[in-house]
Amino acid sequence: MANLQGDYYEFGEAEKCYKEALGIRRKLAEVNPRTHLPDVGMTLNNLAVLQSDANEPGEAEKSYKEALEIYRKLAEVNPQTYLPSVGMTLNNLAVLQSDENEPREAEKSYKEALEIYRKLAEVNPQTYLPFIAGILNNLAVLQSDENEPGKAEKSYKEALEIYRKLAEVNPQTYLPFIAGILNNLAVLQSDENEPGKAEKSYKEALEIYRKLAEVNPQTYLPFIAGILNNLAVLQSDENEPGEAEKSYKEALEIYRKLAEVNPEVYSLDYAFTADNLALLYRYNLINRQKSIHYANEAVRGFAPFIDTVPFAAKWHKVAQAIM
């Protein structure tokens, strides 16, 4: 019941149910710890996830740490069964610590989880290699945010290598992860002034998402548009305005179609891309008529959001200035 209520955002009711279940399981564990302590740990972990989603980071951290303490004790007796739970809880805790701007604590938690999953993968690679790759990606994002590009690139590349191997057996599951990491890596490479590498990474990600979109366009077309927009920014910065124009236009057409079906989600993306095109025509390709045309598209796209989305008001003014 608590899981269902959490899914429907009834946080207060879900928390109440979890805490009631926790109280019962604690009492049962006093009598029979071997049987019921795992249930206490699981309930604490679920409660922590709920508390994190409900923006109660202090309570979530407290719950995660108690769950972690329980799983560590259980793993001393039965490591094969409970080390995965230790690793999972550490990863969840690391995500929370990262969100709460505790990068050193988060890094420590990620690295301990990574060490656990590496050992487990020696015995069962098919089960635990995906966990290693996921944590490496999380760690790379943290390292990039902490201005450690060399470490971030190393983590991304190891995660990429793992996902490539997994995709050989199960492409439908793991190709999206490859594309996502390639995009993250491209952003990092662009920030580190490696435009050639960044372009290569973007284009490989784009190729993967195009194939995935043939089967599931509703899911993957937004990713194609996002990467095309990133690629266009890179191409513009590298004085390739013709290539940037082509990438922006394809992204704009995708966002236009998506916004027709779901305007609340995609109208801003359409407006931003139109604004970028307007700027490209004004300062790089020097075509005032086209610049005004796309600025007008951007103004119309931003207009419904200027009172509710602060940055929309800012870029609405930018588009108006171009006109």
Which one-letter amino acid corresponds to residue 200?
Answer: K
User: pTM of the entire structure?
Assistant: 0.90
Residues in Cβ contact with 27 at an 8 Å cutoff, skipping those fewer than 6 apart? none
Question: Which residue do the tokens 């490859």 mark?
Answer: 178
Angle between helices 310-322 and 288-302 (to 10 degrees): 160
Question: Which residue do the tokens 């960044």 mark?
Answer: 198
Given a contact cutoff of 8 angstroms between Cβ atoms, the answer to whether 229 and 247 are in contact is yes
Paired tokens of 312: 């929309």
pLDDT of residue 109: 98
Greatest Cα-to-Cα distance within the chain, rounded to the nearest angstrom: 79
Indicate whether 202 pLDDT > 90: yes
DSSP state of 304: G
The tens digit of pLDDT for each residue in 22-67 reads: 999 999 999 999 999 999 999 999 999 999 999 999 999 999 999 9
121 or 2, which is more confident: 121
Would you list the DSSP string of 207-263? HHHHHHHHH-HHHHHHHHHHHHHHHHHHHHHTT-HHHHHHHHHHHHHHHHHHHHH-H
Pairwise CA distance, residues 178 & 248, whole Å: 23
The tens digit of pLDDT for each residue in 244-298 reads: 999 999 999 999 999 999 999 999 999 999 999 999 999 999 999 999 999 999 9
Alpha-helix residue ranges (DSSP H) falling in 124-194: 125-145, 149-169, 171-191
Other CB atoms within 10 A of residue 10 CB: 15
The full set of domains in the chain, from first to last, is 1-77 (1.25.40), 216-323 (1.25.40.10)
Residues of the chain above pLDDT 70, percent:
97
14 or 1, which is more confident: 14
Which one-letter amino acid corresponds to residue 85?
Answer: S
The tens digit of pLDDT for each residue in 142-168 reads: 999 999 999 999 999 999 999 999 999
